[in-house]
Amino acid sequence: MPTKTFIFGGVEIPRGMNVTVNIELPKLYNTPTQLPVRVIRGKKDGPTVFVSAAIHGDELNGIEIIRRFRKLNILKKLSGTLVLVPVVNVYGMMNLSRYLPDRRDLNRSFPGSSKGSLAGRVAKIFFDEIVSKCDLGIDLHTASIHKSNLPQVRTNIENDYTFRLAKAFGAPVVLHSALRDGSLRGIAQEKGVPILLYEAGEALRFDESSIRIGVNGLVNVLRANEMLPKVIRKKSPKVPIITKSSKWIRSIESGMLRTIKALGDTVKENEIIAYIDEPLGDDSYEILSPFDGIIIGKSEIPLVQEGDAVFHIANFKNLNIAEDKIEYFNEELIEQSEFHELNTEEIIE
């Protein structure tokens, strides 16, 4: 919990201040490199929460989510401290690359080492200087290159605290996600810092719906975490689809992918979701859904090789409920041309 004195990156930040702090990173050849961090400290005590984006340098949606979020007037009523890191992998973003110049994945390099590779050194700085000083983290991602993700929150749904916050976020899907070795979420959990992971959209692209859901989601989580004022809602809260398992469907042949089902569509077991056509021949091969569920990720490039991941399907048995929930989220999104939530609800002081 923050006290009267809060020191971040060697800078003392009083209550009620909004400060940018630059943390030194390893040089790129002889070019100095810094990690810009925006620290917003409320006038009242409360938890310290970090929001990070672009751990993979080509995942841009989160950068825009944080840019819009930090301008919201409601943050003037913040209790606690926000640490906003719009670009964690500054090296990758400069090169429009998921990876660092040493070709390593930063999100597989935690906890890192001050004497290790470039990725290891950046991971250690980010964890020690930011993550370890927080009570909660929200990490913003997109799908990898040439793929797109339905807006979804991934977390450990067996943890009552993170499950409650994941549902409060307001994304269409909450997916139970196992921890991966070397990931930020994995090492943070070991150190007692729970993290929500928001996945939405496509690498190197802005997706407006994913951005809007993300901005709303950050506000919703802070409200649920008692860092922003509660509200009286005029509509019933949105309840996401909650699923414990998912599977990537891989191409059975090489060729041209002709999709039948779109992102967010429900599918039945053994239903055809796409065809793979031979470019120079007449043969077509069916791709079938292995179970009932909803498509939460898909390839966006029609050229596929045998073994490529082409559809990500979340297991969900009641397809009627799934369709209703997705339709409800879409209707809510259409109504909001920008962040209107604060104008349509009454704040409880």
Q: List, for residues 215-274, the tens digit of each pLDDT value.
A: 999 999 999 999 999 887 766 677 899 999 999 999 999 999 999 999 999 999 999 999
Per-residue pLDDT at 234: 65
Task: Examine the pLDDT at 137 and tell me if it is beyond 50.
Answer: yes
Per-residue pLDDT at 338: 43
Supply the mean pLDDT for the chain.
91
Task: Examine the pLDDT at 343 and tell me if it is beyond 90.
Answer: no
Q: What is the mean pLDDT of residues 10-31?
A: 90
The CATH class of the 245-319 domain is: mainly beta
Q: pTM of the full predicted structure?
A: 0.92
Nearest to 168 by CA among 183, 155, 187, 181: 155
Domain boundaries, the chain: 7-228, 245-319
Task: Examine the pLDDT at 2 and tell me if it is beyond 50.
Answer: no
Contacts 24+ apart (CB under 8 A), 120-125: 121/25, 121/26, 122/25, 122/26, 122/88, 122/89, 122/91, 123/184, 125/23, 125/25, 125/35
Per-residue pLDDT at 3: 53
Q: List, for residues 324-338, the tens digit of each pLDDT value.
A: 878 767 766 645 544
Rounded percentage of the chain residues whose pLDDT exceeds 90: 80
Per-residue pLDDT at 313: 97
Question: How many C-beta atoms lie closer than 10 Å to residue 71's C-beta?
Answer: 10
Q: What is the mean pLDDT of residues 196-202?
A: 97
Per-residue pLDDT at 4: 61
| Burial (CB count within 10 angstroms: exposed 0-12, middle 13-18, buried 19+), residue 338 | exposed
pLDDT band at 46 (very low <50, low <70, confident <90, very high): very high
The CATH class of the 7-228 domain is: alpha beta
Nearest to 241 by CA among 173, 156, 291, 326: 173
Q: What is the mean pLDDT of residues 270-296?
A: 95
